[in-house]
Chains A and B, each alone.
Chain A
Amino acid sequence: MTPLWLIPVLPLIGALINGALSLAGARSKIGPNRAFVSLIAVGMPALSFLFTLFAAIQLSEYPKMISGESVIAPSLHPEYWTWFSAGSFHLSFGLLFDSLTSMMLLFVTGIGTLIHLYSVGYMWSDRGFARFMSYLNLFMFSMIILVLGGSLPVTFLGWEGVGLCSYLLIGFWHKTTEYNDAARKAFVVNRIGDLGFLIGAFALVSVCGSLDYRDIAMWFRNTDNAGAIAGAEGMIALAAMLIFFGCTGKSAQIPLLTWLPDAMAGPTPVSALIHAATMVTSGVYLVARLGDVYVHAPPWVLATIMVVGCLTAVFGAVAGLFQNDIKKALAYSTVSQLGFMFMAAGAAAFDVALFHVFTHAFFKATLFLGAGAVIHSLHHEQDMRRMGGLHLITVNGRKPLLLTYAMLCFAWFSILGLPLGAGFMSKDLILERLAVGHTTTDLGFGPLNLSLVVCVVGLVTAGLTAVYMTRVMMLTFWSPSRLSDEAKAHVSPTPLTMAIPLVVLGVGSLVSGFLWFEMFNVNSIRLDIFQQYLAPVLAPAQQLAAHGETDAHHISPWLIAAAGTSAAVIGLIIAVLRWRRGPTGASAEAHPSSDPTGFGAAWTWSFDRVYHALIVLPTRWISLLLYWIVEQALVGGITYLVAEVATFLGDGYATLQRGRMRASLALSIAGVGALLWIDEIAIGLNAMGTVVLRFVHLMIG
């Protein structure tokens, strides 16, 4: 029996050790021994990865479990202790390890370990090395709990934990006010989503009485509950929408996407691990995990998810076109790709959505790590207008950025969706599922096949993806160099700790797509390991959503592949033609900041501006008004008045007491005597009370 609890606890131990070391060495000049810190920090997630592997092997030996009429996937599901026990609500602190968990956990711990290794090189010379590693390990703990949690509250523990680590890591360089503001914004925006998560969970409790994932799945799959499900349609919709609202916070979808571009203030490994590969995809994971809830909710819920994903994908892709900061461009790209994942989830193609999560983790992590290597070599230069021709730079007879360049090319090839890259496989699957989807809507002029519309928009967005990604490559590499000779001479090589993860992930972004290659169907050998692996968990919900029409292809996969490839090629050609000479428009010198420029620059920030005007400022004003008018003037004023009267009375009584002790004693006795007439006093009070009560009744109806 693999001890599942070790998988999250190991990185937690690492975080505690490194946190203690960092605190102990806070006042010394050098800080704790970096080799030891690195060993702990990389070793613990690596061990977690190993234990995940053991657990996955053990899982594959489990038979299917049948309980009642509903079949749920085989799983390891230890329960450790009672967490909640209030009223009729009971919940154990339990974990759940089924094939969905195992897939997520393998790539979270695997890619996580690689990025820890990368961070050793990237952050080596930073003053807060141990602190950084401690936060990263804490993040691994939270992320593992998020994925491994057996119920919504346990997942929520990880959910808020990753939010906290995100906050700590975005604001890691806490001398800079903008970074701190970005960190705070990320936390608060995520908390807004978290409230949705919580109340959605409460709604789910009132539907099926439990928050345990297995209980929820069994309850929804139990045909005896069909009547109850139909009766609770509104509540299910509420739960599904609120939990999805929580996902828009964590996964940076409209309307809560504004924190992610700002989050690029954090060190680049953070952007790669948290804000590209793992944390931001947890919203997709949660929707897939609660697939049963979503397919039983009214159809408009999934349609909303699809449309939100589609709009976010378009917004992210267009915004990505106008970024000058290489990390911001990649951030908007992440927003856009997450939109693709939600498009698939909205079409109830949860396995495809997760496949895109999987491939995206490889190519986006590669892109960020490559960008990090570039930034590292250029000594914290992030403005693409000051790059160009980087792969050709020669220092001491070697080309320090050549390897980075090659890996970035792999990832670029993959994200564009050029044939046989990982992105090609997963993006084509999304478009295909959308093309055969059933989601219809009626906007007043007859039924409209919504999923087909979303599919076409997705195709255009795939073209836009090709434009902005090729632009990034053009500005960084395939254009005349804009580096000063001095800067060129100081370009530093990429250390080995950074190169190894880069190569592994770069190669992964080429080959990881072959886990599910729909078109490969030779001699009835199909490459759909990924789908088959997740099927026990996801298939029941998906089949229900597809109304039993499994594998009914109304459209040739070749057609989608051809359309997707042409979109990518067209986008590529446009970008090459436009940016082959380097940046266009205002030059870097005129705008030294890395803010976006060009036509879309103003509305890239539109969300921020609208929210600032509609939410942030009013909150600030209301809080000030409440404080000064209600608290200080009203409550304060009345209290002062009462205090003055009391002081007057008190002084009067005091003088009385000083003078005539006996008289005051007599007064006290008289007071007690008055108390004896309580009946009369009560009648008087009663009459007063009646008036007050009438008034209150009038006020509250």
Chain B
Amino acid sequence: MLYLLISAPIFAAILTCFASGKDSDASFRLGLVLSLVIAALGVPLVTGPDLQVSIPWFTLWGTGAQVHLSLASDGLSGWLIQLVTWLTPIAILGSRRQAGSRMREFVVSVFAMEALMIGALLARDLVVFFVCYEGMLIPMVVIIAVFGGIERRTAAMWFFLYTMLGSIFMLVGIWFIAWKMQTTELAAITAGIAAAFEDSPRTMTLLFWSFVLAFAVKVPLVPLHGWQSRTYAETPGAGVVLLAGAMAKIGIYGFLRFVLPIFPEQSAHWADLFIVLGLIGTVGGALVAIAQDDAKRMLAYSSMSHLGLVMVGIFSFAPEALNGAAVQMVAHGFSVAALFLLVGYVESRAQTVGLDDFGALADRTPILAVLFVMAALASAALPGTLNFVGEFELLLGIFNGSGFWVAAIAGLSVILGVVYLLILIQRWFYGKGHGASNRDAMTDLGSAEAIAVIALLIASFFFGFYPKPISDRAGRVAERLGAPAATKAGRPDAVASDAAARVPAVSVATPAPRP
């Protein structure tokens, strides 16, 4: 089942390669149908029981460690995979105008990315994870470099460089762990790493940072966010949907799945540093967003602000905040995808997303205006949206775990969040029209475009009132994953039954660690 889920997008990509390059509509329809089928295939991950499979794959050169093609799905992986698999058809649906005649290439890249993201989310073997995690970059860079804006090459390179630089250290780290412990399976490593490196805490710290660096770039955590605003600004809207909506979440997922369980002691030790960095990202990102006059950059900084809050929540180790982090990842996926889709629609019509280039669009494109305002409200975490549930739980947890002041500072993003979004809304949709040529280019949304956004909004509002499926499955897993670190940090209310995260999920014969 899990192998099928990973290979389905690969087959889809191969199938799409055979579609006619000239008939972009055919690729569009094919991509849409196939991605919907894959999305339907993925649904049992969150409705059915947890799954796990593992087969030996190859021996890692120079270490003797056996790499297993070890996959497992639990609530957290399952829900993030829902995000990936459902955002894929939505990105395809929303890309019709932007990808234009190169629809086929776009769809193939998207499918490749989908396969690798699913792989990264299912992998329970560090090497398998790393292959997928790095592999994701290639189709994304292709999308940026082929479909991007004027400075797309620079943007693609920045994106590639930053993420590569971050991951190289993780590669070394994984390799070193494999060499020392003779295994690359997550469960075995989680259980045995403390014993294996008992006598060298410094090495543990180094390994910790090698993982942190890779994920912090992807989140991104201040000060490693340099690539973000430029990449988002140059990537086509439908591409950012996947980049910001799904891929950036894998950075946070990495913290929850790998950093906290493998390095609970180090995480607890450095927690304050991450809280400070997260707070800088939360408040600073929102402040910088206010100064933007380009919608995509503004949303990029808004994204940085929201994910900074998630980081603060994770490192407060309070179970409410860990639960909220999982919920907020899904919620932010919905809202940021909706916003970037809409911005992409504007861009594909007027070739600009400057804040001063329109004005009074509410009269000219009422459907766009209504959907945009609703998506912005979701992003600003209005109660009734899933973002509110996530933000409420995060802030509650931060208040419980880190106290009043941290919660108050983090909460400033609640205020600043509406400041920049309302500025954007006012300057685009209200007032008097200016930039006549841009305004004339604006036509209201087609039905495919509108449906893509409405689907996201319905999801956000439905789960906003009924978040139980997400907070009970994804959230509880996040609580368990954070429990060892919470215990190390001395939190009394850490989830007691952290056994599930510590005990090897698959019984593998763990070879004796190298002396």
Contact = CB atoms under 8 A, between A and B. Distances in A.
Interface of A: 19, 23, 26-27, 81-89, 93, 153, 156-157, 159-161, 164, 167, 171, 174-177, 180-181, 184, 187-188, 191-192, 194-195, 198-199, 202-203, 205-206, 238, 619-620, 622-624, 626-628, 630-631, 635-636, 638-639, 642-643, 646-647, 672, 675-676, 678, 681-682, 685-686, 689-690, 693, 696, 700
B30 interface: no
A163 to B, nearest CB: 9
B407 A199 contact: yes
A87 B493 contact: yes
A85 B472 contact: yes
Contacts of B308: none
Given A156-B383, A188-B418, A631 B227 contact: no
B157 A191 contact: no
A86 B62 contact: no
A198 B158 CA distance: 39
22 contacts: A19-B370, A86-B397, A86-B479, A153-B392, A161-B382, A161-B384, A184-B423, A187-B422, A191-B414, A195-B414, A198-B392, A198-B411, A199-B404, A199-B407, A202-B396, A623-B287, A627-B292, A628-B291, A635-B226, A685-B206, A686-B206, A696-B273
Contacts of B471: 84-86
A240 B198 CA distance: 49
Contact of B226 (A159, A623, A639): A639
Contacts of B157: 643, 646-647
Nearest to A27: B366
A167 B429 CA distance: 14
Nearest first, the 9 A-B pairs at minimum CB distance are A87-B319, A86-B323, A87-B320, A157-B383, A174-B430, A202-B399, A627-B291, A26-B366, A639-B226
Interface stretch (B43-51, B108-116, B171-179, B235-243): B171-179
B468 A82 contact: yes
A180 B432 CA distance: 11
Given A81-B466, A157-B383, A188 B422 contact: yes
A6 to B, nearest CB: 17
A626 B465 contact: no
B356 to A, nearest CB: 13
A626 B407 contact: no
B291 A624 contact: yes
Contacts, number: 195
Nearest to B430: A174
Nearest to B413: A195
Contact of A88 (B226, B367, B468, B493): B493
Given A174-B431, A642-B161, A689-B205, A192 B415 contact: yes
Contacts of A171: 430
Contacts of B396: 86, 89, 202, 205
Which of A86, A180, A206, A689 has the most chain B CB within a 10 Å cutoff?
A86
Contacts of A643: 154, 157-158, 161
A87 B175 contact: no
A631 B286 CA distance: 13
B273 to A, nearest CB: 6
B288 A627 contact: yes
B290 interface: yes
B393 A84 contact: yes
B400 interface: yes
A85 B382 CA distance: 19
B284 interface: yes
A663 to B, nearest CB: 22
Contact of B397 (A87, A167, A646): A87
Nearest to A93: B465
A86 B226 CA distance: 34
B62 A676 contact: yes
B400 A623 contact: no
A623 B285 CA distance: 9
A638 B226 contact: yes
- B interface bracket (residues with beta carbon within 8 Å of A): 35 or more
B408 to A, nearest CB: 6
B419 interface: yes
A642 B423 CA distance: 34
A623 B397 contact: no
Contact of A195 (B158, B290, B320, B411): B411
Contacts of A681: 172
B318 interface: yes
B487 interface: no
A177 B431 CA distance: 5
Interface in B374-421: 377, 382-384, 389, 392-393, 395-397, 399-400, 404, 407-408, 411-412, 414-415, 418-419
B100 interface: no
Contacts of A160: 382-383
Nearest to A238: B404
Contact of B395 (A198, A672, A685): A198
Contacts of B493: 87-88
A678 B175 contact: yes
A180 B272 CA distance: 41
B227 A86 contact: no
A696 B274 CA distance: 12
B175 A199 contact: no
A180 B431 contact: yes
B206 A689 contact: yes
Nearest to A177: B431
B166 interface: no
B18 interface: no
Contacts of A620: 290-291
A83 B479 contact: no
Interface in B327-374: 327, 360, 362, 366-367, 370
B415 A188 contact: yes
A166 to B, nearest CB: 13
A156 B273 CA distance: 33
Which of A81, A156, A174 has the most chain B CB within a 10 Å cutoff?
A174
A619 B272 contact: no
B42 interface: no
Contacts of A93: 465
Contacts of A639: 158, 162, 226-227
A194 B415 CA distance: 9
Contacts of B209: 689
B467 interface: yes
A82 B463 CA distance: 11
A682 B176 contact: yes
B288 A623 contact: yes
A549 to B, nearest CB: 36
Nearest to B286: A623
B300 to A, nearest CB: 11
Given A195-B412, A199-B411, A620-B290, 19 more contacts: A23-B370, A81-B465, A83-B389, A84-B393, A86-B475, A88-B320, A93-B465, A157-B384, A177-B432, A180-B431, A184-B422, A199-B407, A202-B396, A623-B291, A631-B288, A647-B157, A682-B176, A693-B205, A700-B273
A123 B147 CA distance: 48
Given A85-B472, A682-B206, A202 B395 contact: yes
Contacts of A157: 383-384
A693 B172 CA distance: 19
Contacts of B289: 623
B272 to A, nearest CB: 7
Contacts of B465: 81, 83, 93
B176 A678 contact: yes
B404 A622 contact: no
Contact of A87 (B179, B284, B408, B479): B479
B59 interface: no
Nearest to B401: A87
Which of A175, A181, A638, A647 has the most chain B CB within a 10 Å cutoff?
A175
Interface string B489-515: 000010100000000000000000000
B264 interface: no
Given A188-B418, A195-B412, A198-B392, A88 B291 contact: no
Nearest to B422: A184
